[in-house]
Amino acid sequence: MSRALNVSVLIACAVAGAVVMASWQGIVIEDLKHFGTPRNSVIEGDTERTIPLPDGPAMRRSAVIVPETSGSFAFLFDDVSEGPVRYDPCRPVKWVLSPAGMPRGALPMLHNAADAVAAASGIDLVYEGTTNEPASFERELLQPQYGEGFAPVVVGWSTESQNPDLAGAVSGVGGSSAVNGAYGEQRYLRAGVMVLDSEDLRQLAVAPGGEARATAIIMHEWGHVLGLAHVQDPNELMNASSSTLTTWGPGDLAGLAIAGAGPCEDV
């Protein structure tokens, strides 16, 4: 007996902020500029790892999006003194696809959703191809297979039977970790995760108008990856029970513009 499809509820899963310490491991020239202030580090399991320096200059990759709408939006992480925790807009946010279980025809929807998020936020989302890493919120933030920086956003697929987070009407979960920069107290989003329900999206995509709705689910989860939380307004795509909207609402656009206007990490 097939399970009836209900995509009215979408859930955000924000990865807990990582434990950050200060370390003098692997001193480089940038550390000498901050003499007396050791580089921050992150604890993963039993291992302390120095937070990598940002790649490239602290120059925005695209113009700041000026919101022309207003409405309901909220952030998953919101520091009292520093404001919402966001991705560094001066570096590309790379994403990779874990294709196991991906429904046929889903790849264009993934790219269309990423394009819609990039256009609304001004964040440069760069597709880096496929990976063997499963999409999981238990992932390590720093992985040698991806180079010296933080791991890219990983997008993958699962089912309700494999992942209890996708139980019931939940068609996807997404979020990122909030981690300090190399120096100081400013936090940035890192190493995001998106897990999509392959059965739900497979069924939805073949229904009339379903491809647009399935793409909207992916857009919703990208909103969580970029730091947006659920809102109660039914006119926003970031509403927890949005089942018919296929485009951003006014608050979504305002929130995404703010998500893309965070501070650049400058060392």
In whole angstroms, give the CA distance from residue 138 to residue 136.
Answer: 5
Q: What is the pLDDT of residue 149?
A: 93
Could you count the other beta carbons within 10 Å of the beta carbon of residue 6? 12
pLDDT at residue 153 tops 70: yes
DSSP state for residue 125 in the 8-state scheme: E
What pLDDT digit, counting tens, does each position of 214-231 carry? 999 999 999 999 999 999
pLDDT at residue 46 tops 60: yes
The predicted model gives 32-54 an average pLDDT of 82
Cβ atoms of 54 and 91 closer than 8 Å: yes
Q: What is the pLDDT of residue 142?
A: 95
Average pLDDT, the chain: 87
Tokens of 164: 């209890």
**Total residues found in the chain within this entry:** 267
244: amino acid identity, one letter: T
Domain residues for the domain of 148 are 58-259
Report the number of distinct structural domains present in the chain.
1
Q: What is the pLDDT of residue 255?
A: 97
**Three-state SS string across 21-55, please?**
EEECCCCCHHHHHCCCCCEEEEEECCEEEECCCCC
Structural domain includes residue 175: yes
In whole angstroms, give the CA distance from residue 61 to residue 9.
Answer: 34
pLDDT at residue 9 tops 60: no
Phi and psi angles of residue 201, each rounded to the nearest 5 degrees, phi first:
-70, -30
pLDDT at residue 29 tops 80: no
pLDDT at residue 192 tops 90: yes
pLDDT at residue 19 tops 80: no
Structural domain includes residue 48: no
Q: What is the pLDDT of residue 151?
A: 97
Q: What is the CATH number of the domain that holds 236?
A: 3.40.390.10
The H or E element spanning position 213 is helix 210-225
What pLDDT digit, counting tens, does each position of 97-145 carry? 999 999 999 999 999 999 999 999 999 999 999 999 999 999 999 999 9
Q: What is the pLDDT of residue 11?
A: 36
Structural domain includes residue 41: no
Structural domain includes residue 1: no
Structural domain includes residue 77: yes
Structural domain includes residue 193: yes
In whole angstroms, give the CA distance from residue 19 to residue 79.
Answer: 16
Structural domain includes residue 7: no
The fraction of the chain above a pLDDT of 90, given in percent, is 67
C-alpha Rg value of the chain to the nearest Å: 18
Global pTM value = 0.87
DSSP state for residue 197 in the 8-state scheme: E
